Amino acid sequence: MTFTKTENLKNNKLIVFTKGKHPESSLSASATEEIMAGVPIVILMNQRGSASASEIVAGALQDHKRAIIVGKRSFGKGSVQTIIPTINGTGAIKLTTALYYTPSGRSIQAKGITPDLVVSDIRLSDQKTEAVAFLPVSEKDLKGHLKAPGQSQQPTKASKEDLSLAKKDYQLYQALNLLKGLSVLAGMQSSD
Protein backbone atom coordinates (compact mmCIF):
# COMPACT_ATOMS: atom_id res chain seq x y z
CA MET A 1 0.00 0.00 0.00
CA THR A 2 1.36 3.39 -0.95
CA PHE A 3 0.20 6.89 -0.09
CA THR A 4 0.19 9.39 -2.94
CA LYS A 5 -1.33 12.74 -3.71
CA THR A 6 -4.99 12.31 -4.60
CA GLU A 7 -5.39 12.47 -8.36
CA ASN A 8 -7.52 9.70 -9.86
CA LEU A 9 -10.14 8.55 -7.35
CA LYS A 10 -11.69 6.20 -9.92
CA ASN A 11 -8.81 3.72 -9.49
CA ASN A 12 -10.37 0.31 -8.74
CA LYS A 13 -7.56 -0.52 -6.29
CA LEU A 14 -8.21 2.54 -4.12
CA ILE A 15 -8.43 1.76 -0.39
CA VAL A 16 -8.91 5.18 1.20
CA PHE A 17 -8.47 8.85 0.47
CA THR A 18 -8.33 11.95 2.64
CA LYS A 19 -9.63 15.45 2.06
CA GLY A 20 -8.74 18.51 4.06
CA LYS A 21 -8.77 22.29 3.72
CA HIS A 22 -5.24 22.38 2.36
CA PRO A 23 -4.21 20.49 -0.80
CA GLU A 24 -1.24 18.85 0.97
CA SER A 25 -3.66 17.03 3.31
CA SER A 26 -5.33 15.24 0.37
CA LEU A 27 -3.76 11.80 0.00
CA SER A 28 -4.87 8.40 -1.24
CA ALA A 29 -3.80 4.83 -0.55
CA SER A 30 -4.09 2.06 -3.12
CA ALA A 31 -3.48 -1.67 -3.06
CA THR A 32 -0.93 -3.11 -5.48
CA GLU A 33 -2.28 -6.68 -5.54
CA GLU A 34 -4.86 -8.97 -3.97
CA ILE A 35 -3.25 -11.99 -2.34
CA MET A 36 -6.55 -13.68 -1.36
CA ALA A 37 -8.44 -13.41 -4.65
CA GLY A 38 -11.61 -15.49 -4.67
CA VAL A 39 -11.52 -16.34 -0.94
CA PRO A 40 -14.80 -15.43 0.82
CA ILE A 41 -14.30 -12.68 3.42
CA VAL A 42 -16.63 -11.82 6.30
CA ILE A 43 -15.69 -8.89 8.56
CA LEU A 44 -17.12 -8.82 12.09
CA MET A 45 -17.65 -5.25 13.22
CA ASN A 46 -19.02 -3.49 16.30
CA GLN A 47 -19.18 -0.04 17.83
CA ARG A 48 -16.94 -0.78 20.80
CA GLY A 49 -13.95 -2.29 19.01
CA SER A 50 -14.02 -1.26 15.35
CA ALA A 51 -12.57 2.18 14.76
CA SER A 52 -10.21 4.14 12.53
CA ALA A 53 -7.96 1.80 10.50
CA SER A 54 -10.33 -1.18 10.82
CA GLU A 55 -13.15 1.01 9.51
CA ILE A 56 -11.02 2.10 6.55
CA VAL A 57 -10.23 -1.50 5.58
CA ALA A 58 -13.84 -2.65 6.09
CA GLY A 59 -15.17 0.30 4.06
CA ALA A 60 -12.79 -0.40 1.17
CA LEU A 61 -13.65 -4.10 1.06
CA GLN A 62 -17.35 -3.28 1.25
CA ASP A 63 -17.14 -0.65 -1.52
CA HIS A 64 -15.25 -3.07 -3.79
CA LYS A 65 -17.85 -5.78 -2.98
CA ARG A 66 -15.01 -7.98 -1.74
CA ALA A 67 -16.34 -8.71 1.78
CA ILE A 68 -19.58 -8.87 3.71
CA ILE A 69 -19.67 -6.79 6.88
CA VAL A 70 -21.51 -8.43 9.79
CA GLY A 71 -22.38 -7.04 13.22
CA LYS A 72 -23.18 -3.50 14.29
CA ARG A 73 -22.27 -0.03 13.00
CA SER A 74 -18.64 0.85 13.71
CA PHE A 75 -17.38 3.66 15.97
CA GLY A 76 -17.01 6.39 13.33
CA LYS A 77 -13.45 7.68 13.87
CA GLY A 78 -12.67 9.01 10.42
CA SER A 79 -10.50 12.03 11.16
CA VAL A 80 -6.81 12.49 10.43
CA GLN A 81 -4.75 14.07 13.19
CA THR A 82 -1.40 15.76 12.75
CA ILE A 83 0.84 16.09 15.81
CA ILE A 84 2.81 19.32 15.96
CA PRO A 85 5.57 19.56 18.62
CA THR A 86 5.64 22.75 20.68
CA ILE A 87 8.56 25.16 20.22
CA ASN A 88 10.17 24.29 23.57
CA GLY A 89 9.86 20.54 22.84
CA THR A 90 8.00 19.71 26.07
CA GLY A 91 4.66 18.96 24.50
CA ALA A 92 2.64 18.75 21.33
CA ILE A 93 -0.63 19.85 19.78
CA LYS A 94 -2.85 17.40 17.94
CA LEU A 95 -4.81 19.03 15.11
CA THR A 96 -7.47 17.46 12.93
CA THR A 97 -6.28 18.17 9.40
CA ALA A 98 -8.42 15.97 7.13
CA LEU A 99 -11.14 13.29 6.98
CA TYR A 100 -10.96 9.72 5.70
CA TYR A 101 -13.24 8.56 2.87
CA THR A 102 -13.96 5.10 1.47
CA PRO A 103 -13.26 4.46 -2.25
CA SER A 104 -16.88 5.34 -3.13
CA GLY A 105 -16.55 8.69 -1.33
CA ARG A 106 -18.37 7.85 1.94
CA SER A 107 -17.14 9.74 4.99
CA ILE A 108 -16.47 7.54 8.03
CA GLN A 109 -16.40 10.44 10.52
CA ALA A 110 -19.18 10.23 13.13
CA LYS A 111 -21.07 7.85 10.82
CA GLY A 112 -19.04 4.67 10.91
CA ILE A 113 -19.49 1.75 8.55
CA THR A 114 -22.96 0.23 8.34
CA PRO A 115 -22.87 -3.58 8.17
CA ASP A 116 -24.39 -5.46 5.25
CA LEU A 117 -25.93 -7.83 7.77
CA VAL A 118 -26.86 -6.33 11.14
CA VAL A 119 -26.43 -8.78 14.03
CA SER A 120 -27.13 -7.35 17.48
CA ASP A 121 -25.41 -8.37 20.69
CA ILE A 122 -27.63 -10.90 22.39
CA ARG A 123 -27.11 -13.27 25.27
CA LEU A 124 -28.41 -16.79 25.05
CA SER A 125 -29.80 -18.14 28.27
CA ASP A 126 -28.96 -21.51 29.78
CA GLN A 127 -32.65 -22.21 30.22
CA LYS A 128 -33.42 -25.61 28.77
CA THR A 129 -36.37 -24.38 26.65
CA GLU A 130 -34.24 -21.83 24.80
CA ALA A 131 -31.32 -24.23 24.33
CA VAL A 132 -33.60 -26.93 22.91
CA ALA A 133 -35.22 -24.47 20.51
CA PHE A 134 -31.81 -23.20 19.40
CA LEU A 135 -30.09 -26.55 18.80
CA PRO A 136 -30.86 -28.27 15.54
CA VAL A 137 -32.36 -31.65 16.36
CA SER A 138 -32.30 -34.67 14.09
CA GLU A 139 -33.16 -38.33 14.46
CA LYS A 140 -29.63 -39.23 15.58
CA ASP A 141 -29.90 -36.74 18.50
CA LEU A 142 -32.91 -38.50 20.02
CA LYS A 143 -32.28 -40.90 22.91
CA GLY A 144 -32.90 -44.50 21.85
CA HIS A 145 -32.98 -43.83 18.10
CA LEU A 146 -32.29 -46.63 15.64
CA LYS A 147 -28.64 -46.55 14.70
CA ALA A 148 -27.25 -46.90 11.24
CA PRO A 149 -24.42 -49.45 11.03
CA GLY A 150 -21.28 -47.98 12.67
CA GLN A 151 -23.09 -44.97 14.24
CA SER A 152 -22.58 -44.09 17.91
CA GLN A 153 -25.45 -43.34 20.31
CA GLN A 154 -24.10 -39.89 21.33
CA PRO A 155 -25.73 -36.59 20.32
CA THR A 156 -23.92 -34.57 17.66
CA LYS A 157 -20.90 -32.79 19.19
CA ALA A 158 -20.93 -29.95 16.66
CA SER A 159 -24.36 -28.81 17.88
CA LYS A 160 -23.11 -28.54 21.48
CA GLU A 161 -19.98 -26.67 20.36
CA ASP A 162 -22.06 -24.31 18.22
CA LEU A 163 -24.34 -23.54 21.17
CA SER A 164 -21.32 -22.86 23.37
CA LEU A 165 -19.89 -20.35 20.85
CA ALA A 166 -23.30 -18.75 20.35
CA LYS A 167 -23.54 -18.20 24.12
CA LYS A 168 -20.05 -16.69 24.32
CA ASP A 169 -20.16 -14.45 21.22
CA TYR A 170 -23.35 -14.50 19.17
CA GLN A 171 -22.03 -12.09 16.52
CA LEU A 172 -18.94 -14.24 15.93
CA TYR A 173 -21.18 -17.32 15.74
CA GLN A 174 -23.30 -15.66 13.02
CA ALA A 175 -20.23 -14.41 11.12
CA LEU A 176 -18.82 -17.96 11.06
CA ASN A 177 -22.16 -19.32 9.82
CA LEU A 178 -22.14 -16.78 7.00
CA LEU A 179 -18.54 -17.63 6.09
CA LYS A 180 -19.40 -21.34 6.00
CA GLY A 181 -22.35 -20.57 3.73
CA LEU A 182 -20.22 -18.47 1.39
CA SER A 183 -17.66 -21.28 1.18
CA VAL A 184 -20.38 -23.79 0.29
CA LEU A 185 -21.76 -21.41 -2.35
CA ALA A 186 -18.30 -20.85 -3.84
CA GLY A 187 -17.80 -24.60 -4.06
CA MET A 188 -21.16 -25.05 -5.79
CA GLN A 189 -20.35 -22.33 -8.32
CA SER A 190 -16.89 -23.71 -9.10
CA SER A 191 -18.29 -27.19 -9.83
CA ASP A 192 -20.65 -25.82 -12.51
Residues whose CB falls within 8 Å of the CB of residue 41, separated by 6 or more in sequence, listed in order: 61, 66, 67, 68
Question: Class of the 2-118 domain?
Answer: alpha beta
What confidence score (pLDDT) does residue 183 get? 84
Q: Could you tell me if 72 and 169 are in contact, meaning their C-beta atoms sit under 8 angstroms apart?
A: no
Catalytic position from the list 28, 50, 72, 77 = 77
Identify the residue with better confidence: 175 or 152: 175
> How far is it, in rounded angstroms, from Cα 70 to Cα 51?
15
Catalytic position from the list 25, 26, 52, 159 = 52
Is 77 in the active site?
Answer: yes
User: What does the pLDDT look like over 163-188, one tens digit per residue?
Assistant: 788 888 888 989 998 998 888 888 77
Is 63 in the active site?
Answer: yes
Each domain of the chain, given as residue ranges in start order, spans 2-118, 128-190
